[in-house]
Amino acid sequence: MISGKVEGDIMTKEPDEREISKAIYFNMLNKINKGLAEYDEKKQKEIMKNLYYDIGQILIAIQKNTDGFLTKDGNYRKLPGWYFKLNLSKTIGHPTIDHTIADKEGNVYLEPYSSWGKHIETLLKICKENNIEVEFKGESHHFPAHTFRIKLSKRKGEKQND
């Protein structure tokens, strides 16, 4: 799976990050297939449903550690003061204002399971009035494939952590 010639225990070419990632991926698939092989089809489907959520937890752990959401001691970063001034929890509320986190640059991320047009309209209006950029993405870390990401950031030239 990893390219490069192996001589004894020594690889003659250092694998790059993508090759290492692919090797881990194929290793996981092989282990899953071997683990499922000993069960009947009904049991395999039950296991795969659970596995879907368990693998989601792995994705969450990977993303949390690579997106800059955690401090050196492993805690989530504090939300910047400008976010609280928007008062989104009261004006919009759940489900749109859900799973709120910040990165080291002072950007704020909302990761809801769903939202409604009226909530999005209100969010955009409030952000426009407060000079906040808004970005929507399908990629999120709270629960990949179930939540989406709304990134809020101060416009260029303004301090993020105010």
Q: CATH 3.10.28 spans which residues of the chain?
A: 81-154
Phi then psi for residue 62, to 5 deg, are -65, -50
Mean pLDDT by 10 residues, the chain (162 residues): 43 72 84 90 91 80 72 84 93 90 92 94 96 92 86 78 58
The domain 81-154 is placed in CATH, from the list 1.10.260, 3.10.28, 2.30.29, 3.40.190, at 3.10.28
β partners of residue 137: 149
Tokens of 50: 């659970």
Residue 139's pLDDT is what?
83
Strands 132-137 and 101-102: unpaired
Spatial contact of 103 and 112, defined as CB atoms under 8 Å apart: no
Residue 160's pLDDT is what?
54
Q: Using only C-alpha atoms, what is the Rg of the chain? A: 21
pTM of the model: 0.69
| Cβ atoms within 10 Å of 96's Cβ, excluding its own | 19
